[in-house]
């Protein structure tokens, strides 16, 4: 399966990064 | 580090195919491929209190958030994600309904099908087009979005009101110079009345053009007919060839009705090999109260056909973008969550021929959500409670969707369909669910290949 050059709302998001940031902020707050 | 302190994530799903297993996090799109035997062994170890770090499958599951600490509050994480993602509408697209007259009478048309018996058709005036363009530029100034702002000329058949389109293009050009904002221009047409002047403008203004054609003649002319019952195939094909001959490559918008499904291979070959189309989009037949009903059997067949088309494209035509699956493929490979498919969910407003502002062209017949006009100088759709509500519609905010394996790749389908089928935009779009779930399974196994 390959990516295809685009020729469908625009907002897409890297949820993994977002979750890591949330976890980090949450753990910083606990400290 | 065992199941006494860990739990399966609520977003963990397990796909099986013969002796293969794909462990999947439906929120982050992370995958772990293994065999059924190895997963069964890991599962037994986990559920009998085995140390997570002592098994390679369990270690991977932990690393990819499929096994999480018992004290991890996934509801809290969801709330934080929602806080970031749903901050209200950010308009990027304006759909201008130049007229609701059309020289065709397609059997499945949701614009036509939504009109009541006493409905009076209209044509957009210069004055309305100018007020709409002014309103759009006032709204988008200062916005930053992932895609360019765009104006879509829509109908009916928009080219029946060519003089106003021309006027609007000149107005947009002037506004672009004043603001420094570049706008994508798109015309959605049936292609029947293209002429040299229109093609010249399309080239001069670098307009994207999408011609409606459902495939080979037998398929197209089963539904796309004119007021005399004659098929539109020859006229649409002539328009596409004329555009190509003038250096403009249009996209093709196809409705895959029941008649088209058995001939999809012939249609895709015709569109790509004979017409040399590089961009196309397949739509299913829209739900129209009293006319087109939700038909689960049709939706299953539609989904299978779209996935078959993508298999053919991936194998034979990797330069062709079919937007329905192409978008999912690209986002899945990039591990990017699709917040919503529908631009109506916070990114667009539609303008009726009389200047009324609403969310979705699918409501043009009934004017549902059309409450104010382009002449109401104080009105900003981004502050309208209905637009604000629609901007929150995403699988992330629909409780029934949170347990679905297609959570990240679905986009939630069509809010209007959900409204028509299930009575609220906050219900799933049942028609689209068939396709979304099958597409997710397709992505999982094609990704492994």
Mean pLDDT score, A3-24: 85
Return per-residue pLDDT of chain B as tens, 449 residues.
456 688 999 999 999 998 899 999 999 999 999 999 999 889 898 988 866 788 999 989 998 989 899 878 898 999 899 988 999 998 989 999 899 899 998 999 988 778 877 887 889 999 899 999 999 999 998 887 777 899 999 999 999 999 999 999 999 998 999 999 989 999 999 999 999 999 989 998 989 899 999 999 989 999 999 999 989 999 999 999 999 999 999 999 999 998 999 999 999 989 999 998 989 999 889 888 887 889 999 999 999 999 999 999 998 999 999 988 999 999 999 999 999 989 999 999 999 999 999 999 899 888 889 979 999 998 999 999 999 999 999 999 998 899 999 999 999 999 989 998 999 999 999 998 999 999 999 999 999 87
- d(CA B42, CA B172) in angstroms, rounded, equals 61
Using CB atoms, pick whichever of A9, A12, A26 lies closest to residue B336: A12
Using CB atoms, pick whichever of B81, B251, B334 lies closest to residue A18: B81
SS (H, E, C) chain B: CCCCCEEECCCEEEEEECCEEEEEECCCCCEEEEEHHHHHHHHHHHHCCCCHHHCHHHHHHHHCCCEEECCCCHHHHHHHHHHHHCCCCCCCEEEEECECCCCECCCCCHHHHCCCCCCCCCECCHHHHHHHHHHHHHHHCCCCCCCCCEEEEECCCHHHHHHHHHHHHHHHHHHHHHHCCCCEEEEEECCCCCCHHHHHHHHHCCCEEEEECCCCHHHHCCCCEECCCCECHHHHHHHHHHHHHCCCCCEEEEECCHHHHHHHHHHHHHHHHHCCCCEEEEECCCCECCCECCCHHHHHHHHHHHHHHHHHHHHHCCCCEEHHHHHHHHHHHHCCEECCCCCCCCCEEEECCCCEEECCHHHCCCCCCCCEECCCCCCCHHHCHHHHHHHCCCHHHCHHHCCCCCHHHHCCCCHHHHHHHHCCCCCCCHHHHHHHHHHHHHHHHHHHC
Asked if A10 lies within 8 A of B147 by C-beta distance, the reply is: yes
B359 touches A: beta carbon within 8 Å? no
Q: Give rounded-to-5 percent helix, strand, coil for chain A.
A: 50, 5, 40
What separation in angstroms does the CA of B289 have from each of B114, B150, B369? 8, 30, 17
Q: Where do the CATH 3.20.20.70 domains begin and end in chain B?
A: 93-384
Using CB atoms, pick whichever of B330, B336, B341 lies closest to residue A4: B330
Asked if B80 lies within 8 A of A11 by C-beta distance, the reply is: no
Asked if A1 lies within 8 A of B330 by C-beta distance, the reply is: no
- d(CA B434, CA B207) in angstroms, rounded, equals 34
Which CATH number does B93-384 carry? 3.20.20.70
B:292-351 residues touching chain A, CB 8 A cutoff: 313-314, 318-321, 323, 326-327, 329-331, 333-343, 345-347
Contacts with A22 from chain B: Cβ below 8 Å = 77, 80-81
What pLDDT does residue A31 have?
A: 64
Residue A20: pLDDT band (50, 70, 90) is confident
- d(CA B211, CA B188) in angstroms, rounded, equals 6
């Amino acid at each position: 399966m390959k990516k295809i050059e685009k020729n469908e709302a625009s907002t897409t998001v890297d949820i993994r990064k977002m979750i890591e940031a949330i976890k980090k902020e949450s753990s910083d707050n606990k400290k | 580090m065992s199941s006494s302190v860990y739990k399966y994530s609520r977003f963990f799903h397990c796909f099986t195919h013969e002796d293969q297993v794909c462990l999947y996090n439906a929120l982050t799109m992370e995958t772990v491929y293994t065999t059924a035997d190895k997963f069964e062994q890991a599962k037994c170890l986990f559920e009998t209190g085995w140390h997570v770090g002592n098994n390679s499958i369990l270690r991977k599951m932990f690393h990819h958030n499929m096994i999480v600490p018992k004290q991890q509050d996934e509801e809290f994480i969801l709330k934080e994600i929602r806080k970031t993602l749903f901050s209200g509408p950010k308009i990027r697209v304006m759909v201008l309904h130049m007229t609701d007259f059309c020289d065709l009478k397609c059997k499945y048309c949701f614009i036509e099908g939504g009109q009541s018996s006493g409905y009076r058709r209209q044509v957009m005036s210069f004055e309305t087009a100018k007020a709409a363009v002014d309103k759009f530029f006032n709204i988008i100034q200062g916005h930053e979005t992932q895609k360019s702002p765009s104006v879509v000329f829509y109908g009916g058949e928009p080219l029946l009101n060519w003089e106003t389109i021309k006027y609007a293009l000149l107005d947009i050009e002037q506004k672009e110079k004043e603001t420094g904002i570049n706008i994508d221009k798109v015309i959605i047409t049936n292609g029947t009345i293209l002429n040299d002047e229109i093609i010249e403008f399309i080239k001069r203004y670098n307009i994207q053009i999408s011609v409606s054609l459902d495939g080979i003649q037998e398929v197209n002319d089963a539904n796309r007919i004119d007021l005399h019952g004659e098929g539109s195939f020859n006229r649409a094909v002539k328009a596409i060839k004329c555009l190509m001959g003038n250096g403009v490559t249009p996209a093709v918008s196809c409705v895959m009705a029941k008649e088209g499904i058995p001939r999809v291979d012939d249609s895709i070959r015709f569109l790509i090999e004979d017409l040399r189309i590089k961009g196309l989009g397949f739509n299913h037949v829209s739900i129209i109260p009293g006319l087109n009903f939700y038909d689960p059997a049709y939706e299953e067949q539609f989904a299978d056909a779209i996935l078959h088309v993508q298999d053919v494209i991936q194998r034979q035509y990797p330069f062709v973008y079919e937007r329905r699956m192409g978008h999912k493929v690209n986002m899945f490979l990039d591990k990017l969550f699709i917040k919503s498919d529908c631009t109506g969910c916070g990114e667009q407003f539609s303008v009726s021929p009389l200047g009324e502002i609403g969310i979705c062209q699918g409501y043009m017949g009934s004017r549902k959500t059309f409450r104010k006009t382009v002449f109401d100088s104080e009105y900003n759709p981004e502050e309208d409670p209905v637009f604000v509500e629609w901007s929150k519609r995403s699988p992330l905010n629909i409780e029934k969707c949170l347990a679905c394996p297609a959570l990240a790749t679905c986009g939630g389908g069509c809010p209007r369909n959900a409204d028509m089928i299930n009575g609220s935009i906050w219900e799933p779009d049942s028609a689209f669910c068939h396709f979304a779930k099958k597409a997710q399974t397709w992505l999982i196994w094609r990704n492994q290949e």
